[in-house]
Amino acid sequence: MPSSTVRNARREITGFSNPTVKYLRSLREKKHRKREGVFLAEGLRLLTDARECGHVPQMLVMAAGRDPHPLIDALEDTVAAAGGEVIVTSPDILSKITGKDNPQSVAGVFAEFDTSLASLNRSAAKIWLVAQALRDPGNLGTMLRTGDAIGAGGLILIDDCADPFSVEAVRASMGAVFTQKLARATFDEFLPWLRGGDGQLVAASLRDAVPYRGAPYAAPSFVMVGNESQGLPEAYEMACDLRVTMPMKGRADSLNAAVAAAVLGYEVLEAMRS
């Protein structure tokens, strides 16, 4: 359909107390996201990545008075053609919705994905990242972003992790929430699933470990990092096929969780290339 027709479907919102604004703002809280089964993502780059990966928002929110941009037009056309809603509002209201002082020019409401282990195809990638009880949404998003960079298949969240659909995690993922697969499970669910097929479970550890450089990584390799303060439970480390150590030359005995995943992830990537 011609885009002039499509653009007639825009709805304008001017008041902070509008129910749609309240609905959108509520999505910054986990309980509301969970109830609605949706999450919020912001930014033209991120929404364009989403569109190109086949994720079309149910609702597109645009700031009024923005400069025209062919990618925004493309987003608007895609959303309208899919039967979604296009909202135009003030930059102030968009700022209120995303909780950011300098809001991006667009935000979208997306349906949450299937995050069951069953939805993963382990042979689709040589590397998978696994996070256990990761509490920081920024670390979680950063792991998704790193996963995209190293060509991982996705991120498996073990036990009680931060919500991957939080605004902070989605933002830190820089769009990788749309390109990486996501699964959530307890360790007791994950381990039998892993053992039901090929897969090497790898973790950084101080226990009975070999140097991370040149370790015998094997695809598909599941690279696991633990909670920010506690690290991995000993039983989880012991269930690994490969435990590796990274040099720690200073006073500290651990790295930031997202950093550890990245250093190890790049090492596994190099091993898979050679």
Kindly list the residues in this chain that would bind a copy of itself in the complex (CB under 8 A).
49, 52-53, 138, 142, 145-151, 172, 174-176, 179, 213, 246-252, 254-256, 258-259, 262-263, 266, 269-270, 273
Cβ 229 to a copy of itself shortest distance, Å: 10
The nearer residue to a copy of itself, 89 or 146, going by C-beta atoms, is 146
Cβ 57 to a copy of itself shortest distance, Å: 18
Cβ 219 to a copy of itself shortest distance, Å: 14
CB atoms within 10 A of CB 184: 18
The nearer residue to a copy of itself, 93 or 172, going by C-beta atoms, is 172
Question: Residue 30 is encoded by which pair of tokens?
Answer: 């986990």
Cβ 109 to a copy of itself shortest distance, Å: 21
Cβ 94 to a copy of itself shortest distance, Å: 18
The nearer residue to a copy of itself, 88 or 144, going by C-beta atoms, is 144
Query: Counting Cβ atoms within 10 Å, is residue 225 exposed (0-12), middle (13-18) or buried (19+)?
Result: buried
The nearer residue to a copy of itself, 5 or 102, going by C-beta atoms, is 102
The nearer residue to a copy of itself, 122 or 145, going by C-beta atoms, is 145
